[in-house]
């Protein structure tokens, strides 16, 4: 077998089993510690603050597989594969996932004893049925593009699924960390109308847009979870969520706020777990007449001081980035040929053109702050920028429709190498900019077609340099995201070197005395 992912040691396509390559942000004594001086105990209830309102838990809905909600969705629908260090993946409910030398033939082997929460077996047939449902246009799943790459699925026995892909994809395994691998029953639903899952918890109460309560799944295949119940409260406002944590109304919360991370790190009653797992950039609509000229786009990039932006917006918590593979440790390109900050060079191109552009961003304090800082930087180069906040519920549809000139974009899709093909290939489903370059297409295809790490790294570098020359996006920073929690939590997964933050509730425990 050309590539193998097994239980003992996750041989990812990008990095081996050694230590991570230092991609995480800075930390303090109360930051990124997965242990506590207090021993973890069985039992108790944990209350988690989510950053958005949830109307459904169905994995077919794109919202449930977004990074901030994985702590909820993986509790009910534990994935076949889970995120590892530096973009790697490891088996979870899968026992192994292997490919041939061409990366077109894959074999999935399930663990023994997998069952849905009603006790019915989860076999290879249920995996296939789940994937077919996601690929059905009537389901309107965000995973349809991933399913479309599968030419054929077979089930030689109850524990095995074989996949024949339409084209090589050495990163196929990474797609089983989210929708493809979060197996839902296609024949049974819970009292709230959601498909049954096989995770450590099941839904016991659900109020749309308000709260979810989970209780233990007695038929769970793995180690029994510590907590008796997990309650999720939907608190979209970041400040309100943080105040709820400090007041004790919740025990754990999602955050992408640098100021909250820094404040929490100084508070002895709180702990932080974070990683630079979100990448921010400015999408440029290449159909816009003012942005069609590559020399203009290069000058826009030269006008942005990414180090200063990181210091101001992220309070130094993130790191500047210049290519789609920047978080992937040892295989990240060393030189992406991306334009460096040079305000005088930017002014020499832009000042005489009297360019006026609108920069859209989500209507959240952190994104508006970043957009405002970018406006000021570009203004110094002679570009008149209008910042237009857009409600989050409408933002993705606006990007998909191409109704923007410039758009602030924060994503976790680049947590593994496959994300680049979605954003930057000419036929990529999330190619919001309208960018097309045969060199990039060929390099990304070459990386997908091999499991040889050196060849993949070379292909990543080729794609990155072409992107750096053409500048379809303005790279800014990798931003820290993660969790702030009460110090009564005694066990929590270490996510500090992950590029996808996927903390599973079944591994979280309260300490003795709490």
Q: What are the tens digits of pLDDT across the range 341-387? A: 999 999 999 999 999 999 999 998 889 999 999 999 999 999 999 99
Supply the angle between the helices 453-470 and 294-302 in degrees, to the nearest 10: 100
In a domain, 122, yes or no: yes
pLDDT of 282 > 50? The answer is yes
| pLDDT score of 418 | 87
- Cβ atoms of 248 and 254 closer than 8 Å: no
Q: Tell me the CB-side half-sphere exposure of residue 164, using CA atoms within 13 A.
A: 5
- Cβ atoms of 417 and 456 closer than 8 Å: yes
20-24, 277-281, 313-317: which has the minimum mean pLDDT?
20-24
- Whether residue 35 is found in the same domain as residue 77: yes
| pLDDT score of 364 | 86
Per the prediction, the chain carries an average pLDDT of 91
Supply the angle between the helices 438-448 and 453-470 in degrees, to the nearest 10: 160
Number of residues that make up the chain: 514
pLDDT of 22 > 50? The answer is no
In a domain, 270, yes or no: no
Which residue did the predictor score with more confidence, 140 or 484?
Answer: 484
**Class of residue 437 by CB neighbours under 10 A (exposed 0-12, middle 13-18, buried 19+):** middle
> Cα–Cα distance between 150 and 68 in angstroms, integer?
28
| pLDDT score of 278 | 87
In a domain, 19, yes or no: no
- Whether residue 113 is found in the same domain as residue 165: yes
Please provide the DSSP assignment of 74-97 as one string. HHHS--SEEE-BTT-EEESSEEEE
377 phi, psi to nearest 5 deg = -65, -45
- Whether residue 139 is found in the same domain as residue 87: yes
In a domain, 512, yes or no: no
CATH number at residue 62: 3.40.190.10
- Whether residue 119 is found in the same domain as residue 44: yes
- Whether residue 397 is found in the same domain as residue 329: yes
Mean pLDDT of 221-226: 96
> Cα–Cα distance between 444 and 420 in angstroms, integer?
8
Mean pLDDT of 382-405: 93
- Whether residue 215 is found in the same domain as residue 197: yes
| pLDDT score of 85 | 84
In a domain, 273, yes or no: no
- Whether residue 236 is found in the same domain as residue 286: no
> Cα–Cα distance between 147 and 144 in angstroms, integer?
5
| pLDDT score of 412 | 87
Which helix H or strand E contains 50, and what residues bound it? strand 45-50
In a domain, 82, yes or no: yes
Number of independent structural domains in the chain? 2
Q: Which residues contact 167 (CB under 8 A, 6 or more apart)?
A: 104, 149, 445, 448, 449
| pLDDT score of 276 | 85
Q: Which residues contact 383 (CB under 8 A, 6 or more apart)?
A: 300, 303, 350, 355, 356, 357
Q: What are the tens digits of pLDDT across the range 235-265? A: 999 999 999 999 999 999 999 999 999 999 9
Supply the angle between the helices 306-313 and 365-380 in degrees, to the nearest 10: 150
- Cβ atoms of 481 and 275 closer than 8 Å: yes
Q: Tell me the CB-side half-sphere exposure of residue 138, using CA atoms within 13 A.
A: 2
- Cβ atoms of 36 and 498 closer than 8 Å: no
| pLDDT score of 25 | 33
273 phi, psi to nearest 5 deg = -130, 120
In a domain, 428, yes or no: yes
- Cβ atoms of 448 and 422 closer than 8 Å: no
Residue carrying structure tokens 């790294």: 457
- Whether residue 456 is found in the same domain as residue 346: yes
> Cα–Cα distance between 136 and 129 in angstroms, integer?
11
Under the banding of pLDDT at 50, 70 and 90, the label for residue 485 is very high
Domain that holds residue 430: 278-479
pLDDT of 7 > 60? The answer is no
| pLDDT score of 37 | 63
Supply the angle between the helices 343-350 and 294-302 in degrees, to the nearest 10: 140
- Whether residue 407 is found in the same domain as residue 503: no
Q: What are the tens digits of pLDDT across the range 314-323? A: 999 889 999 9
In a domain, 220, yes or no: yes
> Cα–Cα distance between 209 and 151 in angstroms, integer?
38
- Cβ atoms of 185 and 463 closer than 8 Å: no
- Whether residue 205 is found in the same domain as residue 321: no
- Whether residue 284 is found in the same domain as residue 339: yes
**Residue among 508, 490, 511, 512 nearest 72 (CA):** 508
- Whether residue 35 is found in the same domain as residue 181: yes
> Cα–Cα distance between 413 and 432 in angstroms, integer?
14
CATH number at residue 445: 3.10.105.10
| pLDDT score of 38 | 74
């Amino acid at each position: 077998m050309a590539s193998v992912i097994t239980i003992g040691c996750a041989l990812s396509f990008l990095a081996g089993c050694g230590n991570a390559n230092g991609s995480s942000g800075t930390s303090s004594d109360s930051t990124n510690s997965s242990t506590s001086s207090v021993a973890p105990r069985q039992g108790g209830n944990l209350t988690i603050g989510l950053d958005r309102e949830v109307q459904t838990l169905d994995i077919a809905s794109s919202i449930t597989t977004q990074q901030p909600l994985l702590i909820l969705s993986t509790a009910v629908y534990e994935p076949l594969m889970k995120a590892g260090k530096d973009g790697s993946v490891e088996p979870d409910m899968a026992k192994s996932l292997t490919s041939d030398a061409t990366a077109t033939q894959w074999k999935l082997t399930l663990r023994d004893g997998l069952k849905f929460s009603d006790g019915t077996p989860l076999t290879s047939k249920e995996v296939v049925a789940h994937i077919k449902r996601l690929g059905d246009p009537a389901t309107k799943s965000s995973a349809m593009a991933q399913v479309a790459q599968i030419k054929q699925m077979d089930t030689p026995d109850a524990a095995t699924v074989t996949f024949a892909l339409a084209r090589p994809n050495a990163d196929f395994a990474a797609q089983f960390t989210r929708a493809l691998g979060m197996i839902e029953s296609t024949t049974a639903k819970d009292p709230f109308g959601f498909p049954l899952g096989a995770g450590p918890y099941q839904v016991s109460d659900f109020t749309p847009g308000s709260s979810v309560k989970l209780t233990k799944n007695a038929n769970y295949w793995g180690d029994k979870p510590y907590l008796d119940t997990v309650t999720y409260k939907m608190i979209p406002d970041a400040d309100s969520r943080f105040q709820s944590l400090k007041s004790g109304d919740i025990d754990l919360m999602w955050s992408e706020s640098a100021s909250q991370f820094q404040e929490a790190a100084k508070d002895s009653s709180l702990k932080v777990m974070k990683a630079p797992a979100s990448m921010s950039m400015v999408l440029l609509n290449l159909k816009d007449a003012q942005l069609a000229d590559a020399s203009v786009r290069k000058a826009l990039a030269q006008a942005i001081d990414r180090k200063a932006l990181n210091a101001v917006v992220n309070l130094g918590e993130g790191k500047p980035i210049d290519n789609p593979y920047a978080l992937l440790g040892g295989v990240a390109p060393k030189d992406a040929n991306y334009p460096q900050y040079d305000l005088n060079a930017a002014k020499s191109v832009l000042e005489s053109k009297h360019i006026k552009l609108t920069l859209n961003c989500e209507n959240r304090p952190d994104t508006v702050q970043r957009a405002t800082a970018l406006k000021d930087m570009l203004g110094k180069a002679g570009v008149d920028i209008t910042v237009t906040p857009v409600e989050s519920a409408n933002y993705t549809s606006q990007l998909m429709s191409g109704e923007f000139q410039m758009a602030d974009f924060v994503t976790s899709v680049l947590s593994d190498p496959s994300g680049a093909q979605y954003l930057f290939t000419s036929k990529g489903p999330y190619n919001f900019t309208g960018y097309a370059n045969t060199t990039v297409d060929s390099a990304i295809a070459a990386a997908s077609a091999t499991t040889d790490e050196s060849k993949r790294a070379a292909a990543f570098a080729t794609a990155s340099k072409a992107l750096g020359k053409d500048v379809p996006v303005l790279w800014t920073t990798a931003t820290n995201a993660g969790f702030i929690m009460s110090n009564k939590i005694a066990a929590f997964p270490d996510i500090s070197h992950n590029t996808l933050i996927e903390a599973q509730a079944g591994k979280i425990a309260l300490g003795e005395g709490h």
